[in-house]
Amino acid sequence: MKKLSLAIPLTLVAIVLGFLLTLQMQTQKSVLELEKIQAQRVASVTNFLTEAQEENKVLKEQHKELTAQLEGARQEGGTSPALLAELDRYRMMEGTVDVQGPGIMITIDDRQQEHKVVFPLSTDDLLRIINILKLAGAEAISVNGQRIVGSTSIVLSGTSTQLVNKVPITRTDGVPYEILASGNQDQLLDYFTNLEAPGLKQYGMSVSVVRKTVSIPSYKGVSPVKKPES
């Protein structure tokens, strides 16, 4: 009986230790998976930023050439409609005109009191989303009403306030983030849904994306490219 009475507590201890060991292994595995995902996402951000910077350089050179052609045409007393249309396209890409047309609306809710969020949406997340949309061919993009242009800065002020174009965009009520992108709806939807949405959802955020006719305001700051005088 004495051996039996000792065996029962030892068995219970062994079971508890086994449970704790299994739990620890699962926790370590989850942490390693999160670290792996984070490392992959950081690598993606770096690649996207490099590509975006190269694209911005090309666009600036093309814009410079186009405005020079326009100025030459004006001096000769005529302006080609095709040239004006091309200039309008670059102005839209620069963000100096309002844009309305087909696109997508992305809503992201990272409020911890509403969801089991592991990490809230970061500035790197926003940059990556923007660059994914650019790679998908977005003609214009806005985040909570702020137009994204070549000179746009996205930084964190304090511990939780996101600044886009130096304007606070973090919302305390309703859906915290609303991202609009104009362009090919199928392509924009496909890129975001497959490349970005799964990772955000894995961190516990609520994410939705819908096709709609979007109205994206012009950039209200200083123009990133100085235009020639008429």
DSSP 216-230: EPPP-S--SSPPPP-
Please state which CATH number belongs to domain 11-16+23-216. 3.30.70.1880
- Rg (C-alpha) for the chain, rounded Å, is 25
Paired with 6 in beta bridges are none
More confident site: 19 or 182: 182
Alpha-carbon gap, residue 35 to 61, rounded angstroms: 39
CA distance 178 to 169: 10
Q: What is the pTM of this model?
A: 0.63
pLDDT at 170: 80
Cα dihedral across residues 50, 205, 220, 73: positive or negative: positive
Rounded distance, CA 65 to CA 142, Å?
Answer: 27
Residue with more model confidence, 88 or 204: 204
**Rounded to an integer, what distance in angstroms lies between the CA atom of residue 1 and that of residue 7?**
10
Place of tokens 């500035």: 123
Q: Which residue has the higher pLDDT, 100 or 12?
A: 100
Summarize pLDDT for 14-55 with one digit per residue, the tens. 565 555 556 555 555 555 655 665 566 556 555 656 666 676
Torsion of CA 109, 115, 118, 120, to 10 degrees: 20
Q: Would you call 12 helix, strand, or coil by DSSP?
A: helix
Confidence bin at 77 (pLDDT 50/70/90): low
pLDDT of residue 158: 78
- C-alpha 156/C-alpha 58 separation (Å) is 29
